[in-house]
Amino acid sequence: MTTTAHRRASGPRPTADGTGGRQAAGRAPLSGVLWLTWRQHRLVLGVLLAGAAATAVWCAVLRGRMAGVIDAHHLAGCSMISLVPHCADTQEAVIAFRAEFGSSLKLIETGLFLLPALIGLFIGAPLVARELETGTHQLVLTQSVGPLRWLTAKLALPAAFVLTAVSGLSAVFAWLWQVGGDEVSGAYWYSTLGFGALGPVPVAHSLLGLVVGVLAGLLLRRTVASMAATLAAMAVVQVAFQQLRPALLPVATSRFGLGTAVQAPDSGWVQGQGYLTRAGARLTGDDMGCTPNGDYASCLRSHDVTGQFLDQHPVSHHWPLAWIESGIVLALALLVTVLVFRVMRRRHG
């Protein structure tokens, strides 16, 4: 009743109601601590849902337009310089495609990539820190609800909204990516932005951002300080996963003869390449000190080189990699949640 009465009818709201409004539906109003949590944070949670819904609509429109261009010029699977036979003479069309859609795609990618940090900053960090800063937690904790129930509601409602908004948006973006990603746009799945924007990865990172923000708020008790700490923590997590990501799954190795050109598909994420000796040892050009202006072939022979290798994550590794990373991130989020509850229990019993 009150929950819907307070919602101002604005453009994307109906969509927001349809996707995330299960808890906030007019017929089953929130009660108890959940009502309070919704009443306090409805603005920011509404903005999140509305933003996600608007972006999802944009993704759908963009997908339609991309599909039209691709069908008209037969661009499916073609990149700027492509060896695929049916892509002959499509270079200009691909360049035109990238000029038309490249920046929009990049914008959505960047948005999804940054969303976890933004959620931590603007939803997670102020969630508890603002209460501790202004002393209003005392108002709630001196009522009949226990501190742990309050904290549960405080985490669960925003988590439900984040889960709904980010997974919905991520799914629509993946649907757009099927058409406009990888070769044709030059935005590959293994790029930092692309990997962070596709599938379960942004969802897991968003939930982590939320709980990291809450933990920072609980420990620092200051909104601005906990926002800064959340940003720093999320940056560290992102950098760490960029280093760690290729090692989450064993690479696929291809072998080539000495004379052949080493060629990987554009969608493969190359991790390394070099020469193989008869004994099976791996050498790179630098290891041997061969220079192209000398007698390169005899230099290679002197090192007993018999072939070449290429390590890569083929496109088939994308989803396994994404799920492994998401699993680790969710485990981290769970750990932080346990910490949050422990801090709360130690402080207020």
Partner 1 sequence: MAIRPGEAIGRASGRTALETIGLGKRYGRRWALRDCTFRLPAGRICALAGPPGAGTSTLLSLASGLLRPTEGTVRICGESGPAGRARVAHVTQGKPLYPRLTVAETLRLGRELNPGRWNDRCAEQIVRDGGLPLGARAGALPEGQRTVLAFALAFAREPELLLLDDPLDGLDPLDRHRIAALLLARSAERATTVVLSSQALAELDGICDYLLVLGGGRVRLAGEADDVVGMHTLVMGERRGEGLPREIAAHTVIDTQLSGRHFTALVRRKGPLAPGPWEAAEPSLEELLLGYLRAPGAPGLIAPSAEPVSSRRSHRPGGRPGIPGMPRNGRPGTAGVPGGTPHTSYHHHSGKGAAA
Using the minimum distance from each CB to partner 1, give the nearer residue, 146 or 314. Answer: 146
From 3, 17, 20, 36, residue interacting with partner 1 (rule: CB under 8 A): 36
Site string for partner 1, 136-175 (x = CB under 8 A): x-xxxxxxxxx-----------------------------
**Is 39 near partner 1 (CB under 8 A)?**
yes
Q: In terms of DSSP bridges, do strands 305-313 and 252-257 run parallel, antiparallel, or are they unpaired?
A: antiparallel
* Least Å from the CB of residue 213 to partner 1: 20
Among 300, 119, 124, CA closest to 217? 124
Using the minimum distance from each CB to partner 1, give the nearer residue, 31 or 260. Answer: 31
Cα separation, 201 vs 303, whole angstroms: 44
**Is 2 near partner 1 (CB under 8 A)?**
yes
**Is 35 near partner 1 (CB under 8 A)?**
yes
SS (HEC) of the chain: CHHHHCCCCCCCHHHHHHHHCCCCCCCCCCCHHHHHHHHHHHHHHHHHHHHHHHHHHHHHHHHHHHHHHHHHHCCCCCCCCCCCHHHCCCHHHHHHHHHHHHHHHHHHHHHHHHHHHHHHHHHHHHHHHHHHHHCHHHHHHCCCCCHHHHHHHHHHHHHHHHHHHHHHHHHHHHHHHHHHCECCCCECCCCHHHHHHCCHHHHHHHHHHHHHHHHHHHHHCCHHHHHHHHHHHHHHHHHHHHHHHHHHCCCEEEEEECCCCCCCCCCCEEEEEEEEECCCCEECHHHHCCCCCCCHHHHHHHCCEEEEEEEEECHHHHHHHHHHHHHHHHHHHHHHHHHHHHHHHHHHC
Using the minimum distance from each CB to partner 1, give the nearer residue, 143 or 263. Answer: 143
Cα separation, 108 vs 304, whole angstroms: 50
Using the minimum distance from each CB to partner 1, give the nearer residue, 103 or 143. Answer: 143
Using the minimum distance from each CB to partner 1, give the nearer residue, 40 or 277. Answer: 40
Length in residues, the chain? 349
**Is 26 near partner 1 (CB under 8 A)?**
no
* Least Å from the CB of residue 347 to partner 1: 7
Tokens coding 97: 């495609």
* Least Å from the CB of residue 12 to partner 1: 23
* Total residues interacting with partner 1, rule: CB under 8 A: 24
Stretch binding partner 1 (CB under 8 A), from 25-33, 90-98, 191-199, 243-251: 25-33
* Least Å from the CB of residue 77 to partner 1: 54
Stretch binding partner 1 (CB under 8 A), from 31-39, 80-88, 108-116, 262-270: 31-39
Site for partner 1 in 192-231 (CB under 8 A): none
Using the minimum distance from each CB to partner 1, give the nearer residue, 40 or 271. Answer: 40
Angle (CA) 118-176-202 rounded to 5° is 30
Q: Are 76 and 189 in contact (CB under 8 A)?
A: no
**Is 40 near partner 1 (CB under 8 A)?**
yes
Stretch binding partner 1 (CB under 8 A), from 111-119, 278-286, 313-321, 340-348: 340-348
Using the minimum distance from each CB to partner 1, give the nearer residue, 36 or 66. Answer: 36
Using the minimum distance from each CB to partner 1, give the nearer residue, 34 or 197. Answer: 34
Using the minimum distance from each CB to partner 1, give the nearer residue, 153 or 233. Answer: 153
From 21, 23, 24, 33, residue interacting with partner 1 (rule: CB under 8 A): 33
Stretch binding partner 1 (CB under 8 A), from 35-43, 167-175, 221-229, 266-274: 35-43
* Contacting residues toward partner 1, per CB under 8 A: 2, 31-33, 35-36, 39-40, 134-136, 138-146, 346-349
